[in-house]
Amino acid sequence: MHVNQNADLPRAALPGVEHVTLAGAQNGLKNLSIWQQSIAPEGSSPPHRHDCEEVVLIKAGSGELHVAGRVHRFGPDTTLVLPRNAPHQIFNTGEGPLELIAVFAVSPVAVYLPDGQPIELPWTS
């Protein structure tokens, strides 16, 4: 069992994205990873996919989910459900940070470009 003080967990970043792994392989988990991210205004995640299902809980802000050639607009208190290997990208379209929690059905989480090329993450998942 682990009790984490989230403020004490290591931070990492990609351009425009601040990241904290709340729980995952570092806690001995094999089938679950939970990430907290903040995307800056006008920022976005890179286009990517995961070899697992993903659920994204939008806590604050507004944005767009681009997936399967479609654009889905969302605001706070929204849940995004992504199937395994769905190429997607999340954009912050609001004036403040886009705050989210991402939940993955695997640990550690591998991230790939839509063409299958691995993305090296600057954090432990």
3 domain residue, yes or no: no
The CATH number for 18's domain is 2.60.120.10
Sign of the Cα torsion 87, 23, 75, 14 reads negative
121 domain residue, yes or no: no
Q: What is the pTM of this model?
A: 0.94
**Structural domain for 90, as ranges:** 10-106
pLDDT in tens, 14-36: 999 999 999 999 999 999 999 99
pLDDT at position 58, please? Answer: 99
pLDDT in tens, 46-102: 999 999 999 999 999 999 999 989 999 999 999 999 999 999 999 999 999 999 999
> Which one is predicted more confidently, 59 or 2?
59
* Closest to 123 (Cα-Cα) out of 104, 101, 108, 112: 108
Confidence of residue 125 (pLDDT cuts 50, 70, 90): confident
Q: CA-to-CA distance for 74 and 65, rounded, in angstroms?
A: 8
* Closest to 58 (Cα-Cα) out of 36, 41, 40: 36
Q: CA-to-CA distance for 78 and 72, rounded, in angstroms?
A: 11
125 domain residue, yes or no: no
> Which one is predicted more confidently, 10 or 1?
10
pLDDT at position 98, please? Answer: 99
pLDDT at position 1, please? Answer: 86
Q: What's the domain count of the chain?
A: 1
63 domain residue, yes or no: yes
pLDDT at position 124, please? Answer: 82
